[in-house]
Amino acid sequence: MKVRLICVGKIKEPYLRKLIERCETTLNSRCRLEIIELKDEKTPDGASQKEEERIRQIEGERILSRIPEGSFVVPLCIDGKQMGTEELRRRWENWNREKDAEVVFIIGGSLGLSRAVQKRGNMKLSFSRMTFPHQLMRLILLEQLVTVSGTKEK
């Protein structure tokens, strides 16, 4: 199985980079992992809703251009489906059984994801109704993928 993680923005904090690299190493032994970091647009202080929407659209176009045809797309959204680790593990196992499966997880920038990206998703996923920094969300997602990829069906 191939897993692609498309993220808006770079990880600047060295401690987060180190933890993310540890997860990458583990996941690469279990699947083909590719992490794509896309440029984030700067949001001016006091930006209007219209300006924020324009920024989401620009970032969204970058994201959509990196999604391979035929992949299963999972945007991380606050209004997405919440599931426990066991349910995510079952989904992982199902994806892993499919020949040439490619799953694309998407983490937006500080303003979230454009409507077009959310619409492209096959399943919107939420880790919480709370908002987390997108840099930290990358670590949380990768840690969950390490967990579910290393467990066997009971």
Residue 97 labeled ligand binder? no
Bin 80: left if φ > 0, else alpha if -120 < ψ < 50, else beta. beta
Check residue 154 and give its pLDDT: 41
* Residue 128 annotated as lining a ligand binding site: yes
| pLDDT at residue 98, as a whole number | 87
| pLDDT at 133 (0 to 100) | 87
- Helix 85-97 vs helix 134-149: angle between axes, to the nearest 10 degrees? 70
141 labelled binding-site residue = no
Contact call for residues 31 and 92 (beta carbons, < 8 A):
no
Q: How far apart are CA 48 and CA 61, in angstroms?
A: 20
Is residue 61 within 8 A of residue 91, CB to CB? The reply is: no
pLDDT along the chain (154 residues), means of 10: 96 95 96 96 94 97 97 96 95 90 95 96 94 90 96 50
Read off the pLDDT of residues 75-97 as tens digits, 9 standing for 90 and up: 999 999 999 999 999 999 999 89
CB 5 within 8 A of CB 107: yes
**Among the CATH numbers 3.40.50.970, 3.40.50.2000, 3.40.1280.10, 3.40.50.300, which is that of 2-149?**
3.40.1280.10
131 marked as part of a ligand binding site: yes
Q: Is 84 annotated as a binding residue?
A: no
> Binding site annotation covers 151?
no
